[in-house]
Structure 1
Amino acid sequence: MDASPPDPTAALLARADGPVTRGRLVRDLVALGLAEGDTVMFHTRMSAIGYVAGGPATLIGALQDVVGERGTLMVSCGWRDALPYGFAGWPGPWRDAVRAEHPAFEPESSEADQDKGRLPEALRRRAGAVRSRHPDVSLAALGVGAAELMADHPWDDPHGPGSPLARLVEVGGRVLMLGAPLETLTLLHHAEALAEAPGKRFVEYEQPVLEGGRRVWRRFRDIDSSKGAFDYSSVTPGGQDPFETIVRDMLAAGIGRRGTVGAADSHLFEAGEVVDFGLAWIREKLGGGVR
C-alpha cells in the first residue's frame, strides 16, 4: 500500500507551534506596536508567519481589527500583465499585435503582480478598496483614508512627490514588514525619487491605460526601480541588495521596532523615519542632495 502524501501544512504548523489564528495575529500585532487609527503599508511573506488559518482574509481581518475604523491599510500592487519596458524592441509583428490588442490597465480589475505575494491581490479585491491609476506602480488601500492616499497618482515620477508613498509620509503613516525580506521595503523608492546623486538612472516606457473610457497608449518616466536608481555596487557588502543594506543600517541605528507575528520576524517603522534615513544614507554614501 502506498504511503500517504506528506501534509503540505505540516511544516507551517510546526514553524509557528500550531495554527496562527486571527486572535493570535491581533495580539502579536498589538505587541509589535501597531495601533488603532494607524495608516500602515504592509509587506508580507505568508509562509514566514506559519499556517494562517483562513489565509490572506484572516491576516487582513486581523490588521483591520487592530487599526480599527479610523485606520487604513495599504499595499503595493503593480500589474501582473504589464508589458516589459523593452517591448518596443520586439520583432515588428509582435510589437504591432501587442499595440493593437493588449488590454488596458484597469485599477478595479487588473490583477496585482504575483511577485508581490498573495496579500496585494486579496486586499485590492476587498469591498471598499481603492487602487491608484498608475499601471506599473499601482498601490491599493482599504480604510477611511484610502481614497485620499490613492488619488491622482502621478503618471511620471510615480514614486515621488504627490504619490501614494509621499502621502503615506505626509499623514504620519507606518510600514509593517511581516516576515517579508528587508529589500522589499518599497517606501525606500520614495527616498530614491527625492535624492539627487551622481548617475541617477531613469526609465521610459509605454503601457495601455483607459482615459475617458478609451484605451490609449501612454508614455511614462520614472526612476529605474528594477535595476536601481543609483549604482550602489561600491557601497553594499558582497553584492547585498542595497535596500537590505539600508534597512539593516537603519535597524542598527535604533530605528524601527522588532517582534514576532506568528512565527515571522517582523518590523514596524515610521514612514517619515524610513525616508529621512534613506535620504541621509544615499547622501552620505553617494553624495548629492535632495531635490
Structure 2
Amino acid sequence: MSTTPPTGPLVTRADLVADLRATGVEPGETLLVHSSLSALGWVCGGTVTVVQALLDALGPDGTLVVPSQTGQLSDPALWAYPPVPEEWWELIRATMPAYDPDTTPTRGVGVIPETVRTWPGALRSAHPQTSFAAIGPGAAAILADHARDCRLGERSPLARLEKAGARVLLLGAGYDSCTSFHLAEYRIPAPLVEVGRPGPDGWEVVTEVWIDSDRFDELGYDFERDHGIRRAGVGAADVRLFPVADAVAYAERWLPLHRPREEEISGPARLGTRPRT
C-alpha cells in the first residue's frame, strides 16, 4: 500500500459544479464528455462525485454522453499493449464473449465513462466496439440505431450529437481523445478496412472506414487557435468546451490537407482493423 500523501487540490462536488458553470456548461444542454479523473486533483468521492457534478450542472433537462468503447473486442492478431502469442489467436477468436451493452466493460476511455455506463437509468448504444453511454432525456434518441458497420460515422451517435447542437467538454483530456474528429473521416475520401470482432453468431468480419487519431493533437491545436477556444479550469484540470459541429467541420477541411491518403493506409491499426489490399 502506498504511503505517499495525495496531491491536491482537494475537490468537492460543489467545487466541480461551480467550475463547470463558470466554464460555460449550461443547464438543459447535451454534452459529450471526454475526461481524466487524475487531472482533476483529489476528488472527494472519485468518479461518482464527478458524474454527480456533471448531472448537477446539466440539470434534469440536460443529457450527459460519454464514449464507452470496447477496443478489447477486436482481432488478437493486432493487439500490441500487450500482444498475445500467435498460437492463442484462433482460440481467442472462437471463445471471446460477444458485446453486451449491459455487461461489457469500457476500455481505454478512463474510469469516469465506466461509472456513467453503470449509472441508474443510463443507456448504451449497440455498436460492439465504439459504443456511447448516456444519461438524460435525450439519451434514447442520441444512442438509437447505432449501426454495427458504422463505428463513428453518419449512423452513429456522433452524427446525432452534431445535429442536436451538442457540445464537447474536454475535462482534463486532450484532443487526441476527441471522437468528434472521427466523424469528419467518414466525410472525406478514406480507405476501407476489415474489422474483426466477436459477434452474436461467432467471429465476424465487417468492412469499415479507416479511422486514426494519431494526429488529433495537432488538429486540435490548430482548431483551438483558429476558433479561439477558451481554456478554463475545473478542479486542477484544463478544460475546453466547443460545439461538436464546429470540430467536425474544421476536421473536414484540415484532414485532407495534413494527412495524405498514403499516411492513412500505412498508419497503425485502430480497434482491431487491418487495411484492405
Question: Into which bin does the TM-score normalised by the smaller protein fall?
Answer: 0.7 to 0.9
Aligned positions, number:
257
Contact between 1:172 and 1:271, CA under 8 Å: does it hold in 2? yes
Contact between 1:86 and 1:205, CA under 8 Å: does it hold in 2? no
Q: Do structure 1's residue 35 and structure 2's residue 26 form an aligned pair? A: yes
Q: CA deviation at 1:84?
A: 2.9
1:6 aligns with: 3
2:91 aligns with: 97
Q: Distance in 2 between matches of 1:5 and 1:219?
A: 45
Compared CA separation, residues 253 and 104, structure 1 to 2 (3 A): same
Q: Distance in 2 between matches of 1:158 and 1:260?
A: 31
Per the normalisation by structure 1, the TM-score is 0.81
Q: Encode CA deviations 1:193-238: one digit per residue, 9 max, x unaligned.
A: 2122xxx33321222233xxxx44332232333xx28xxxxxxxxx
2:167 aligns with: 174
Contact between 2:96 and 2:198, CA under 8 Å: does it hold in 1? yes
Correspondence for 2:139 among 137, 143, 146? 146
1:1-291 equivalent positions in 2, closer than 5 A: 6-9=3-6, 11=7, 13=8, 16=9, 19-79=10-70, 81-84=72-75, 86=77, 94-113=88-107, 115-196=108-189, 200-210=190-200, 215-225=201-211, 228=212, 241-285=214-258
SS across alignment from 1:40:
strand
Q: Distance in 2 between matches of 1:5 and 1:78?
A: 30
Compared CA separation, residues 99 and 31, structure 1 to 2 (3 A): same
Compared CA separation, residues 67 and 43, structure 1 to 2 (3 A): same
**Which amino acid counterpart does residue 6 of structure 1 have in structure 2?**
T
Bigger CA radius of gyration = 1
For structure 2, the residue ranges without an aligned partner over 5 or more in a row are 262-277
Q: Distance in 2 between matches of 1:80 and 1:160?
A: 17
SS across alignment from 2:186:
helix
Contact between 2:129 and 2:151, CA under 8 Å: does it hold in 1? no
For structure 1, the residue ranges without an aligned partner over 5 or more in a row are 230-240
Contact between 2:64 and 2:135, CA under 8 Å: does it hold in 1? yes
2:275 aligns with: none
Q: Encode CA deviations 1:20-41: one digit per residue, 9 max, x unaligned.
A: 1110101100111100011111
Per the normalisation by structure 2, the TM-score is 0.85
Q: Encode CA deviations 1:56-83: one digit per residue, 9 max, x unaligned.
A: 1101101100111111111111116313
Contact between 2:101 and 2:125, CA under 8 Å: does it hold in 1? yes
Q: CA deviation at 1:147?
A: 1.2
Contact between 1:160 and 1:190, CA under 8 Å: does it hold in 2? yes
SS across alignment from 1:42:
strand
SS across alignment from 1:74:
strand
- Structure 1 runs (4+) deviating above 6 angstroms are 90-93
Identity of aligned residues (%): 36
Q: Distance in 2 between matches of 1:167 and 1:26?
A: 26
Q: CA deviation at 1:286?
A: 5.3
**Which amino acid counterpart does residue 251 of structure 1 have in structure 2?**
E
Q: CA deviation at 1:255?
A: 4.1
**Which amino acid counterpart does residue 65 of structure 1 have in structure 2?**
D
SS across alignment from 1:280:
helix
Compared CA separation, residues 255 and 108, structure 1 to 2 (3 A): farther
Q: Distance in 2 between matches of 1:162 and 1:261?
A: 33
Q: CA deviation at 1:95?
A: 4.0
Q: CA deviation at 1:5?
A: 5.7
Contact between 2:64 and 2:136, CA under 8 Å: does it hold in 1? yes
Q: Distance in 1 between matches of 2:23 and 2:188?
A: 31
Q: RMSD over aligned Cα, in angstroms? A: 2.4
Contact between 1:74 and 1:142, CA under 8 Å: does it hold in 2? yes
1:235 aligns with: none
Q: CA deviation at 1:8?
A: 4.3
Compared CA separation, residues 209 and 276, structure 1 to 2 (3 A): same
**Which amino acid counterpart does residue 179 of structure 2 have in structure 1?**
T
Compared CA separation, residues 36 and 223, structure 1 to 2 (3 A): same
Contact between 2:124 and 2:133, CA under 8 Å: does it hold in 1? yes
SS across alignment from 1:195:
coil
